[in-house]
Structure 1
Amino acid sequence: MARAPLVPREDREVFVVPLEVRPEHIDANGHVNNVVYVGWLQDAGTAHWNARFDDATRARWSWVALRHEVDYLRGIEPGATGVVARTWVGDPQGPRFNRYVRIEDGQGRLCAQGVSEWCLVDARTLRPHRIAGEMIAPFLATV
C-alpha cells in the first residue's frame, strides 16, 4: 500500500528538475522502469545541491546516499513529455537528512514519490560531518 502523497513543507524551497523519458528507460511492461525512478531521485538531489552551492563548497563537501524508498503510483509511458521531479529537504540529524521527491507527469499527476537519506561527508576523507546551519539555509523557502 502506498503512503499518503508527500507534501512539501512551507518553509522549504521546492526545486524542480525536468526529466527526460528516453527509450532505454522503458521496460517490458511499456512504462518507465523502477530503477530509473531511483536514478531520478538521486539526480534531483544532486541538481538541487549543485544549483545552490559554489564550486569551492562542492569541492569540499559531498553527499552519500544511504537509502532510497520509492512508492510507484502511476506508470509513465514512452514518449511522455513534461515529466518533472519536485524535491525538498527535511531537517538535518547530525550528518544526515532526508530528501523528498515527487515525480509528476506532464499533467501534474503524481506518478511516484520517494524519500532518500543522505549523509554529508568531507570530500577528501569521506568521513561524515555534521550539517551546519549555513548548509540548510539555501534550501529554505524565501518569503
Structure 2
Amino acid sequence: MEDKHPQNKFSHLIKVRQEDIDVMGHVNNVVYLRWVQEVATAHWEYAAPENIKSLYLWVVLRHEIDYHRPAFLNDDIQGLTWVGTHQGAKFERFVSLYRAGSDQLLASAKTTWCLLDAVTMRPKRIEQDVLSIL
C-alpha cells in the first residue's frame, strides 16, 4: 500500500493475545482486519475533539488488506495510519501493521470510510472541520 503522507502518521500499539491465535499457532487473518479498524478508531478518538465526535460517525465501505508476515502470541504490534484522498463523504485511509521495534511489515491495508451525520445517519460531505484534524 502506498505511503502518501509519511509526516502525518498516527501510531497505536497493540498486544497479541491468546484469543488472536489460530490453529496454525499465529495470529488469525481476521484479527489483522480488526486491528486495522482499531488503529483507525484510535486515530479518530485521539484527533477529534468531543464536539466533532458528537456530530459525526464513520462506517467502512471497503477493506483491502495484504498479509506479509505472521504475528505470534505476546508480540507487540505497532499500527501506523494516515489518511489519503477524500471525495464527497468518502475518505481513504491506510494502515500498516509492524512488529513493534522492527521494520517487519506484517500487514498493510487500504480502507474506504464514509462519514455519517450522527443525527440523520446519512452520508455527510467531508468539510474543513474534519479535514483540519486528520
TM-score, normalised relative to structure 1: 0.88
Q: CA RMSD in A?
A: 1.3
Residues 1-143 of structure 1: matches in 2 within 5 Å? 5-10=1-6, 13-81=8-76, 83-106=77-100, 107-139=102-134
Q: Which has the higher strand share?
A: 2
Q: Secondary structure at the match of 1:90?
A: strand
Q: Which runs of 5+ in 2 are unaligned?
A: none
Q: Distance in 1 between matches of 2:108 and 2:130?
A: 24
Q: Contact between 2:99 and 2:106, CA under 8 Å: does it hold in 1?
A: yes
Deviates more, 1:114-123 or 1:47-56: 47-56
The residue type equivalent to 2:106 in the other structure is C
TM-score, normalised relative to structure 2: 0.93
Q: Contact between 1:90 and 1:99, CA under 8 Å: does it hold in 2?
A: yes
Q: Contact between 1:21 and 1:79, CA under 8 Å: does it hold in 2?
A: yes
Identity across the alignment (%): 38
Provide Cα deviations, 1:66-103, integer angstroms capped at 9, x if missing partner.
1111100000011213x110000011110001100000
The residue type equivalent to 1:94 in the other structure is G
Q: Distance in 2 between matches of 1:137 and 1:56?
A: 14
The residue type equivalent to 1:14 in the other structure is K
Q: Contact between 1:6 and 1:113, CA under 8 Å: does it hold in 2?
A: no
Runs (4+) of structure 1 exceeding 4 A deviation are none
